[in-house]
Structure 1
């Protein structure tokens, strides 16, 4: 029996290969990736890669958007010079961060990074004006200090001299798209991360905007993804259609999730690990709030019910600090180190952006009366086992929220190259783990463009295309599972201790870039 994807292919016919550029930018790097679609399978090729990261400006951690635009344009020109006829391009990035424009469309102030400490204390201030329950019921978004809600609250409190000149707020991918096409646009999936969008209506919540003294006029209506919005004129590739896809990188990644049915938990594994399920409705019950689960927007008006987990950011920083070891070497050293000697709570605020990650991990272990890691392998083992335990914690929470039975975990993104962590995840959660594809955000970006170009019709067909195009690997849980015997220890160290509460103010107020 033919799938809906194969039927669609037969009905359409196919006269030439479609080529799309996915501009996929994460918090630490960006890529321009060429997608080629022959009507049956999808192939990808990296054309250009560049670094990304916050820079200090005026005492704040900011994004260098001029640099990112130069790199984006360079990647587009590489495609054109190589002789590719490009049908479309689209941009996906991280969420919550934004750019402010004046009435002439020029940038005001800097694009401050979510890792800046300007939002410290903002949650507590707003809690005195409105209950967390009210915010969560309205938005369905988990409480994180760096959400757009708290960034704007900090900005309105500071009120720089250009504040009254603001005419428009654009989230980062929309701003980069505007600089290419000249079209100002607001894409739904990225806008949903702000904690300002009402999850029931899909409109900006007027009460929350009034609470932080931000005019509703700053915001364009949030538009569903996978549509064409304009053009970019390339020197070498000519006029290229610009699409607005699911521009939050995790939303793009989940669009490319090669699964059917509703029994799978996903993890989008990279700098962050985003772990969750898809739902047709927001799950913003008191139980969901107690788990601090977020309901971010997805393609076709779906909700990504998930938790943000401090992912490979932990090992990325440790690798920089030791310097002489590659990630692959750290994984091998972790395998050779003793198991379950030291554990951390990956999502503790002290790991968000410490002066030194290794020192932060050692401090945590001392304060929780554990063995303090010293060697690169001990640090890596501590991080990977702690992440696996955190995956188990979220797995158990999602099983309480989901009415139907959850049977497996599917991991996508660059983190799947860490096969050791994949196996630890299967062992910790006690279920099968499947992995692939690696470049999920870019692949989802390309699939969104194919929908915008009317080459495929739906997310379901996109996922069938991904299944037909990229390999999937499976990991089974170990029969001699030691994780359960150490679960109580992880639960204990995950609770805030008086020592860490007393030291938290000092650590979070000394945040610097590593």
Structure 2
């Protein structure tokens, strides 16, 4: 049985998980959890990367001996190294305002159709390409490392870029499966800062002596590249059978989409702002980002309450479709007073704001379900792929009201779980790299199905009511 450590960094918290795979069994135990979130210094929002490194080391010290270590995190953010391998500045958080209006500057250098034809990525203001256009330390940089690659470098001293996270930068050619050096040069990014690419399952290196001493681990312990974009790891753990499934990786963001063999780089896909991100085993994650539970998380933070279960019970009794918002409206992106922003959004769209906290929760969850419905229908049409079941994975799979509303809105059965999908996918890729007989994604998913209990939600209610609500929200039917 292979025993591995999965470092799983989310946009609000991180954890070190101890996984074990072998003899047809899959186990996962949390050994260390730590805070992760933005730190504002004057007018800039940063990640506290040294805190994350310290917390990772503390967690690895708690695991005891392991056969491997893998790291996954959110996408798009990075650190820059100088020619001595030193970090030039603390990584900036993707929600920082520095990229406001920058996409327009990028499109002056590379027309939108060309950019999409090369990268296949959704136009988002915080994509790495936009951050680099306004990066003050770029001219001093020798190397760019995405967050998991940076932490892996600090463990091993080895430089490289894992492919699934590289694919989120908007500097990666989705057809050639390589960096687009020509594109980088067109927007003023020196191609030389883009490191060599790694595949999920490649061994990055072994632990530096100081790291081994700090953690008590064997210095020969390999650090293994996994699907280092946390959604890539999460999709590995979707407990699907066959190909006719869709997924929502539900957390701070909701990533709604399909798994494909090849990109669909059509005008229709570009107009609908769908993205093509690299997956494990060369698959394509064809999806769109929906703002996700971030809106609700910010409301809870402003209210100063942790009583979400009570609010969800009360929200289930609120009359449906009283108030709807567009969860992807730009005013919901940055941290701040989210309840007030929702009130202002409602008034701007001719609606009375929610009358209670429970009504606001209902508004957010119904609006998310409608966004999922619209995205999933577009994905099936564009990719010419019909689905029979929708898998909801990640933290949002615990939200029973959201899962039921999603089943109702999409008209599909929803299978909820696993919660720790990113960590499970991380563990499975490591186990295969270490010799466990998991030849393909089907074998990995079968192991997840045989190990974990999933909750099933059948569609309820009247489809016509959801049609009318979608028409109200998006001006479509």
SS in 1 for 2:426: helix
How far the C-alpha of 1:127 sits from its partner, in A, is: 2.0
Alignment partners' CA distance in 2, 1:404 and 1:143: 23
How far the C-alpha of 1:487 sits from its partner, in A, is: 2.3
Residues 1:133 and 2:116 are matched in the alignment: no
TM-score normalised by L of structure 1: 0.89
SS in 1 for 2:29: strand
Aligned to 2:200, which of 216, 221, 225?
Answer: 225
Aligned to 2:96: 116
How far the C-alpha of 1:78 sits from its partner, in A, is: 1.2
Residues 1:375 and 2:356 are matched in the alignment: yes
Equivalent residues in 2 for 1:28-67, closer than 5 Å: 28-57=12-41, 59-67=43-51
Kindly provide the CA deviation profile for residues 341-394 of structure 1, in whole angstroms up to 9, marking residues without a partner as x: 111000111000152101110011001111211421011000000000001110
Aligned to 1:501: none
Aligned to 1:77, which of 46, 58, 61?
Answer: 61
Equivalent residues in 2 for 1:146-157, closer than 5 Å: 146-155=126-135
Aligned to 2:124: 144
How far the C-alpha of 1:266 sits from its partner, in A, is: 0.5
How far the C-alpha of 1:479 sits from its partner, in A, is: 4.4
Aligned to 1:452: 433
354 and 27 in structure 1: CA distance in 2 versus 1, 3 angstrom threshold: closer
Aligned to 2:328, which of 338, 347, 353?
Answer: 347
TM-score normalised by L of structure 2: 0.96
- Which deviates the most, 282-291 or 35-44? 35-44
Alignment partners' CA distance in 1, 2:152 and 2:306: 37
Aligned to 2:145: 170
Gaps of 5+ in 2: none
Kindly provide the CA deviation profile for residues 216-267 of structure 1, in whole angstroms up to 9, marking residues without a partner as x: 1101122211122212225433232211100000000001111122211100
Aligned to 2:255: 274
Contact 1:253–1:413 (8 Å) recurs in 2 = yes
Equivalent residues in 2 for 1:487-502, closer than 5 Å: 487-492=470-475
SS in 2 for 1:99: strand
Alignment partners' CA distance in 1, 2:413 and 2:231: 22
How far the C-alpha of 1:325 sits from its partner, in A, is: 4.2
Aligned to 2:165, which of 169, 186, 190?
Answer: 190
Residues 1:403 and 2:378 are matched in the alignment: no
Alignment partners' CA distance in 1, 2:385 and 2:290: 24
Alignment partners' CA distance in 1, 2:325 and 2:468: 16
How far the C-alpha of 1:75 sits from its partner, in A, is: 0.6
- Which deviates the most, 409-418 or 316-325? 316-325
Alignment partners' CA distance in 2, 1:256 and 1:426: 20
Aligned to 1:289: 270
How far the C-alpha of 1:405 sits from its partner, in A, is: 2.0
Alignment partners' CA distance in 1, 2:174 and 2:390: 26
Kindly provide the CA deviation profile for residues 378-414 of structure 1, in whole angstroms up to 9, marking residues without a partner as x: 1100000000000111011012112232222111111
Aligned to 1:391, which of 362, 372, 389?
Answer: 372
Alignment partners' CA distance in 2, 1:43 and 1:127: 47
Aligned to 2:182, which of 197, 207, 211?
Answer: 207
How far the C-alpha of 1:129 sits from its partner, in A, is: 2.6
Contact 1:101–1:108 (8 Å) recurs in 2 = yes
Contact 2:264–2:383 (8 Å) recurs in 1 = no
SS in 2 for 1:284: coil
The two structures, once aligned, show a CA RMSD in angstroms of 1.5
SS in 1 for 2:336: coil
Aligned to 1:12: none
Contact 2:109–2:187 (8 Å) recurs in 1 = no
Gaps of 5+ in 1: 1-16, 495-514
287 and 416 in structure 1: CA distance in 2 versus 1, 3 angstrom threshold: same
Alignment partners' CA distance in 1, 2:85 and 2:414: 47
Aligned to 1:485: 468
Alignment partners' CA distance in 2, 1:336 and 1:312: 20
Alignment partners' CA distance in 1, 2:462 and 2:106: 48
How far the C-alpha of 1:135 sits from its partner, in A, is: 0.1
